[in-house]
Amino acid sequence: MLPLPVADPALAEVLTVIGLLTLGGVVPVPRPVVCIGAGAMLGWSALVPAMIGSAFGATLGFALARHVLAGPIGRFVARKPRAEAVLRAIEAEGWRVLGLLRLGSPVPGPVIAFACGVSRMGFGEYSVISLVGVLPQTLLFVYLGRTGGAALADPSGAGGATAAVGVALTAVALWRLKGAAGRHAARRPGNAARETRDRRP
């Protein structure tokens, strides 16, 4: 993590996690790396700043798209096929698609936030579904970091094998979960596009 000029190292780590994930609302930031690193440094307490940063980032991206840079971001979404597909799917199915995208998909977080910001989705619905959607993966990433950090800190190495097994099983579960959600979400934009064409006179 990048150091901050704060006297308390733990507070600096918390603020760094919040800052990085807030920034991730408008530019691509590797959430898994940030959350795993936070879990290694802070343990389970990393979940709080991770969720706060995620909430700030989601709000920032949405607010910029809707209130500040609606024109440029709207043109950006229109030029990017993936972003336009996300927008069509959100317009067609709302929170269901947003939940799947937040749970696990190859679409970057800022693209999701921008598409929702230029859509008709309400801010309350967007905020709740976004936080619920990122919670499972945040829990898993923090757990991975906490488990790996504890194994490295064990001088006897007795817990290393158990920790490695736990990390491996969790990684496999996360991979399968994200893969299933990503495939399901990827099918939704296509369905939405077909529905839009069918509605055209």
Q: Give the separation between CA 149 and CA 36, rounded to whole angstroms.
A: 9
Looking at per-residue pLDDT, the higher value among 131 and 76 belongs to 131
Q: Which long-range contacts (CB under 8 A, 24 or more apart) does 19-22 make?
A: 19/53, 20/53, 21/49, 21/50, 21/52, 21/53, 21/54, 21/56, 21/57, 22/53, 22/56, 22/57, 22/60
Instruction: Give the whole-angstrom CA distance, residue 131 versus residue 129.
Output: 6
Mean pLDDT of 91-117: 86
117-176 residue pLDDT tens: 988 899 999 999 999 999 998 998 998 888 877 766 665 555 555 555 555 655 565 555
Q: How far does Cα 113 stand from its chain's mean position?
A: 10
Q: Longest C-alpha distance within the chain, in Å?
A: 72
Q: How confident is the model at residue 200 (pLDDT cuts 50, 70, 90)?
A: very low
